[in-house]
Amino acid sequence: MDQITKTDGGARRRAKSSVESACKRIERNIKLGLWKPGHQLPTERALQMELGVARNTLRRGLKRLEQEGRIVRYVGRGTFVAELKAAEPQNFLERLSGCSPSEVMEVRLMLEPKAAELAATRGSQTELQFLEDCLHGAAAASDLPTFEHWDGLLHKTIIGATKNELLIGLYESINAVRNQAEWTKLKERTVTPRRRGLYQKQHVELVAAIRERDTRAARRHMRVHLLAVRGSLFKN
Q: What does each C-alpha distance from 21 to 33, 100, 156, 178 come to in angstroms?
A: 19, 32, 17, 25
| Bridge partner list, 40 | 80
Average pLDDT over residues 75-100: 69
CATH number 1.10.10.10 given to 11-81: yes
What pLDDT does 92 receive?
Answer: 59
Q: What is the DSSP letter of 85?
A: S
Q: Is 40 within 8 Å of 30 (Cβ atoms)?
A: no
For the chain, domain boundaries: 11-81, 98-234
Task: Report pLDDT digits (tens) over 138-150.
Answer: 999 999 889 989 9
- The answer to whether residue 136 scores a pLDDT higher than 90 is yes
Domain 98-234 belongs to what topology? Four Helix Bundle (Hemerythrin (Met), subunit A) (1.20.120)
What is the pTM assigned to this prediction?
0.61
The residue among 166 and 13 whose pLDDT is bigger is 166
